[in-house]
Structure formats: C-alpha cells, structure tokens
Amino acid sequence: MDFSFLNQPAFSGGGVYLDWVISGLKWTLLVSILGWIIAFSVGSLLGILRTAPVAWLRVPATIYVELFRNVPLLVQMFIWYFVVPEIVPKAVGDWLKTQMPMPEFSNAVLCLGFYTASRVAEQVRSGIQSMPRGQTSAALAMGLTLPQTYRHVLLPMAYRIVIPPMTTEFLTIFKNSSVALTIGVLELTAQARQISEYTFRTFEIFTVATIIYALITLTVTFSMRWLENKTRVPGYVGGSSK
C-alpha cells in the first residue's frame, strides 16, 4: 500500500488530499456530536415521559419512539431534506430551502439527532423501569414530589445502569453519520469516496477512513468506560436494592 497520495495536491481546494480527509473528519465529528446533543436531551425527555403515570404524557412519547425507530435512517434523511420543506407552511419551507445556513449539514444533524433520540429514549425508559418500585414509594413517602423523585432518586441510578447500552448508541451515531453523505454532507466517508475517484487509491483511502472511525469509536468506548468507573456506586451490585 502506498499512502503518498495523501500528500499530493488535491484536485480542487488548493490543499493536499490529507486536507480532504481532515475536513471529512471535522464534519463527521460535528454532525455526530451535535446530533448526540439533540439525541441525548430529547431522548432523555421522551424516556422519562414514557414512564409517566398519566397517559397523555406517555402516549405521545410512545408514538414518537415507534415512528422514529421504525423508519429506516436513510429514508428519514431524505424526508428531512426533501419532504419536510414541502409540507411545512410555505414561508417556513422557503426559508428552509433558501435561507437556512448549511442546509445539508443542518438537516443531517436534525435527522440523526431526532432518530437517535428514539433509541436513547428506550434506554432511559428501561433504566428507569429497572429500578425497584419501592424506590419510588420510599421517595414519595418522605414527601418528595414525583419530579423530585425522578431528579434525586430514579434518574441518578437509571443513567448509571444504562451507561453500557448508551455507549452503543453513542458509537452508532458516529457510524450512522456516514448516511449524511446521501444528502451531500462531505463527511469522512464522502471524502474517502471522492478521493478514491480522483486518485484510484480506493483500498488505501478506505483503510485510512476505517482506521479513523476505529479511533473515534475506541476513544468513545474508553471514555464511557472511564465514566462508568467514575460513577460506580460503592457496594452496589445491581438489580434490586436487597
């Protein structure tokens, strides 16, 4: 394998092909991390709502989750980019099509964020529901309100319990971010494809891309493991509070 092409002047843009790779990495990280911020906050809210004692909070959250996690991500990407601007009121649609800054990027972030939110919601819900019911009873019995019970009793443990599956979702969003290339975001995979077309170094450039993805995901895995150890509860062995 010969990686010297990375140092050759690129077809356009004035730099070398390595600059394309770095630019691709930048967009991959931006799409993924901004998408994760949406996914984690919206997903947490939805997950909490799915455990609410009243149906009018629970049902909309359930509908959201079932809708977003059952439509393929690729289809959702097209819907956000091509369909949403046509079905919202005309003024909004026109703004989306002509005024929105970096429309491909913004749509990719929104799509990935709201899709992953449905998966995060399920993790949060399962974390809350894995808590023994007596924990809620004990918190309410001492006079805490239900929101206080979530804030101080249920969520701190629920989030700890779901760190491992949450790591998987966090990893998946980096890998899913490559779907953004279908609507024209020049993230890592798109750049690799482009470089392959200009240099015919297909094998090498995808090797580079693979290594970069692996480095990102390994970093995430180890950070989450660090977080898991950092938040470990002394003496807690999981399951019920026996």
Partner 1 sequence: MIEMKNVSKWYGKFQVLKNCTTRVDKGEVVVVCGPSGSGKSTLIKTVNALEPFQEGEITVEGISVGAPGTDLPKLRSRIGMVFQNFELFPHMKVVDNINLAQIKVLGRSKEEASAKSMSLLKRVGLDGHAQKHPGQLSGGQQQRVAIARGLAMDPIAMLFDEPTSALDPEMINEVLDVMTELAHEGMTMMVVTHEMGFASRVAHRVVFMDAGEIVEDAKKEDFFGKPRSERAQHFLSKILHH
Q: How far is the CB of 127 from partner 1 (least distance, A)?
A: 13
| Half-sphere exposure in the Cβ direction for 168 (13 Å, CA) | 7
| Half-sphere exposure in the Cβ direction for 38 (13 Å, CA) | 18
Q: Residue 142, interface with partner 1 (CB under 8 A)?
A: yes
Which of 18, 144, 212, 224 binds partner 1 (CB under 8 A)? It is: 144
Q: Residue 53, interface with partner 1 (CB under 8 A)?
A: no
Q: Residue 134, interface with partner 1 (CB under 8 A)?
A: yes
Q: Residue 202, interface with partner 1 (CB under 8 A)?
A: no
Q: How far is the CB of 146 from partner 1 (least distance, A)?
A: 9
CB nearer to partner 1: pick between 26 and 160: 160
Q: Residue 41, interface with partner 1 (CB under 8 A)?
A: no
Among residues 173, 30, 64, which one has the least CA distance to residue 112? 173
Distance between CA atoms of residues 55 and 226, nearest Å: 38
CB nearer to partner 1: pick between 1 and 55: 55
The contact mask relative to partner 1 for 153-192 (x = CB under 8 A, - = no) is x--xx--x--------------------------------
Would you say 241 and 184 are in contact if contact means Cβ atoms under 8 Å apart?
Answer: no
Which of 18, 29, 79, 138 binds partner 1 (CB under 8 A)? It is: 138
Total residues in contact with partner 1, by rule CB under 8 A: 26
**With CB under 8 A as the contact rule, which of the stretches 10-18, 41-49, 135-143, 201-209 interacts with partner 1?**
135-143
**With CB under 8 A as the contact rule, which of the stretches 110-118, 142-150, 184-192, 217-225 interacts with partner 1?**
142-150
Q: Residue 135, interface with partner 1 (CB under 8 A)?
A: yes
Distance between CA atoms of residues 171 and 182, nearest Å: 20
CB nearer to partner 1: pick between 97 and 152: 152
How does DSSP classify residue 232? Answer: P
Q: Residue 129, interface with partner 1 (CB under 8 A)?
A: no
Non-local (6+) Cβ contacts of 105 within 8 A are 27, 30, 31, 180, 185
Distance between CA atoms of residues 17 and 72, nearest Å: 33
| Residues composing the chain | 242
Distance between CA atoms of residues 182 and 94, nearest Å: 22
Q: Where are the alpha helices (DSSP H) in 71-201?
A: 73-78, 84-87, 90-94, 103-129, 133-141, 146-149, 155-161, 163-176, 188-199
- Tokens representing 219 are 């970093």
Interface ranges with partner 1 (CB under 8 A): 132, 134-135, 137-145, 148, 152-153, 156-157, 160, 233-237, 240-242
